[in-house]
Amino acid sequence: MTTNPCRVVIRGVLILAVVVSLVVLSLEWKRRHDLYWYDVRQDYSYAFESEPPVEVATHLSKNGFDFPGIDGNWDTALLPIKVETTWSSYWFEPSIEIRTDETSWTQTFERGARGLRYLILHQDAIQPGEKVYMEGKHIRWPDQERQLLLFSNPGVTRAKLLVLAPHPDDAEIAAFGLYSNTDSYVATISAGNYVDGLYAHLSDDTSVQDTLRGRLRTWDSLVVPTWGGVDPTRIVNLGYWNGSLTYLYRRRFAGAVPAAIARQNPNSFRSGAVAELLGGRVATATWRSLVEDLRVLMEAVDPELIVAPHPAIDAAEDHRFTTLALLEALEENGDRVTPLLLYTNHHFLSEYYPFGPMHSAVTLPPVFDGKGVMTGVYSQWLSEHDRMDKLFALEAMHDLRAAPRELTGGPTERFITLAAAAVDGLVRNPLGTYSYFRRSVRVNELFFVVQPADRERLRKASESSQ
């Protein structure tokens, strides 16, 4: 019997297609689950010990719950909920849509999540006594009796805020919606200069690439906040070099500064309202200089709230040490009254956090074992107008978009240049997983409130994570 060569080829092609598909699917399965650096089948563990929130009982059914008829002395509410996900959630992200008579929003959780999670509710979106409807995708929950946790943060939107950004763009990623709707000052700690090849096509000299990036990002840090209504006399960049804070902190008790560090002169990038907010101080590449900058800055601004990274749950070293320097400066100023609103742009358990797509809600991040030192929670609701402004604020940051390329030559050369730029962007982040446009253009911005009484506990938790 003669075998048909055409059938053999077709069978071989089909087998190869199946094998390739299985390999691609298995790699994609692994990628989706490698986004979480912890066991997603465990309860989140939050404790608000020094100032417990008001608790109000409610019954949670499969369709939602009735929001209690309470007065308006709250702005942010958390609803604990025990969830379990369906088999499909191991591929698709599970989410819960929350609907009221006025609006709706979606909160997304980890693939394969199980255990205690929290829904975030806003006074702007829910009326007392209103029915709140819930619908899950790839997730379910049993009927359960729960205690709504109500937080009151009076005056946040009327307070004078000082927003600290470790790098250019951190203030916008975490708090553009907040600072553009309040009486705010924005101070960026570093120039954000570093070399990772983004500008390699513009110069072979890495020192040129480094300086160019620092100049660009410093300029961004001074200009973009004006899009949010902040006056230029309220914006400053302290000029410390990107990635230097860890070394400065660890050498804070040492003597002479090594020559390599001394060359990292903050004054080469230091700009903005240096005279108005820093008294014209000349900086040095030392921890002492950074703490003194923050001390002088706070004396000039006299803020009622300070926005900064959460040093115990943010993984980026410049972020953690920014807030440790802030805590030291507060201590030196004898400040015992100013609350902190803390954020995380690089959560230590998942760089993919916040989960889910653009325009969904920022949920509480994974916190276990008491690492999340906080007095309370504040969620800033962003209108559609706020989100559009935030989108353009992020797009204005050079570090969050593709590098410019010179379009020279004829149509063929220009096409090749544009194609190379597109390929470069896809190589850097092929699925947009870590895009800050996805992560931060949301219906809310989330902050952890820390009162002065909890600062020492926060400092110890932060130092233990170094």
- What pLDDT, on the 0 to 100 scale, is given for residue 101? 86
Could you give all domains of the chain from N- to C-terminal order, each with its CATH number?
Answer: 54-151 (2.60.120), 156-346+383-441 (3.40.50)
CA–CA distance, 76 with 73 (Å, rounded to integer):
10
- When pLDDT is averaged across residues 51-63 and rounded to a whole number, the result is 94
- The tens digit of pLDDT for each residue in 259-311 reads 667 678 999 999 999 999 999 999 999 999 999 999 999 999 999 999 999 99
- What pLDDT, on the 0 to 100 scale, is given for residue 124? 81
Confidence of residue 2 (pLDDT cuts 50, 70, 90): low
User: 203: which 2 tokens?
Assistant: 């110069």
CA–CA distance, 395 with 198 (Å, rounded to integer):
16
- The tens digit of pLDDT for each residue in 86-140 reads 999 999 999 999 999 889 999 999 999 999 999 999 888 888 888 999 999 999 9
The reply to whether omega before 53 is within 30° of 0 (cis) is: no
- What pLDDT, on the 0 to 100 scale, is given for residue 177? 98
Q: Which residues contact 445 (CB under 8 A, 6 or more apart)?
A: 174, 175, 176, 177, 178, 343, 362, 379, 380, 382
CA–CA distance, 334 with 350 (Å, rounded to integer):
36
CA–CA distance, 239 with 236 (Å, rounded to integer):
9
The residue length of the chain stands at 466
- The tens digit of pLDDT for each residue in 221-258 reads 999 999 999 999 999 999 999 999 999 999 988 866 67
pTM above 0.85, yes or no: yes
Residue 337 DSSP class? S
Among the listed residues 377, 380, 381, 450, the one whose alpha carbon sits nearest the alpha carbon of residue 79: 377
- When pLDDT is averaged across residues 174-192 and rounded to a whole number, the result is 97
User: 38: which 2 tokens?
Assistant: 């912890």
Q: Contact, 286 vs 238, CB < 8 A?
A: no
Residue 413: exposure state from Cβ atoms within 10 A (0-12, 13-18, ≥19): exposed
Confidence of residue 465 (pLDDT cuts 50, 70, 90): low
- What pLDDT, on the 0 to 100 scale, is given for residue 119? 97
- The tens digit of pLDDT for each residue in 59-81 reads 999 999 999 988 778 999 999 99
- DSSP per position, 401-439: SPPP----SSHHHHHHHHHHHHHHHHHHSTT-TT-HHHH
- When pLDDT is averaged across residues 184-205 and rounded to a whole number, the result is 94
- When pLDDT is averaged across residues 166-190 and rounded to a whole number, the result is 98
- What pLDDT, on the 0 to 100 scale, is given for residue 422? 84
Confidence of residue 84 (pLDDT cuts 50, 70, 90): very high
- Burial readout 67-105 (b: 16 or more C-beta within 10 A, e: otherwise): beeeeeebbbbbbbbebebeeebeeebbbbebbbeeeeb
- The tens digit of pLDDT for each residue in 415-462 reads 988 888 888 888 888 888 999 999 999 999 999 999 999 999 999 888
Task: Give the β-pairing of 95-99 and 54-60.
Answer: unpaired
Cα–chain center distance at 83: 25
- When pLDDT is averaged across residues 348-372 and rounded to a whole number, the result is 93
The yes-or-no verdict on residue 1 having pLDDT over 60 is no
Q: Contact, 270 vs 289, CB < 8 A?
A: no
- DSSP per position, 129-177: T-EEEEEEESEE---EEEEEEEE--TTGGGSEEEEEESSTTHHHHHHHH
Chain mean pLDDT for the chain? 93
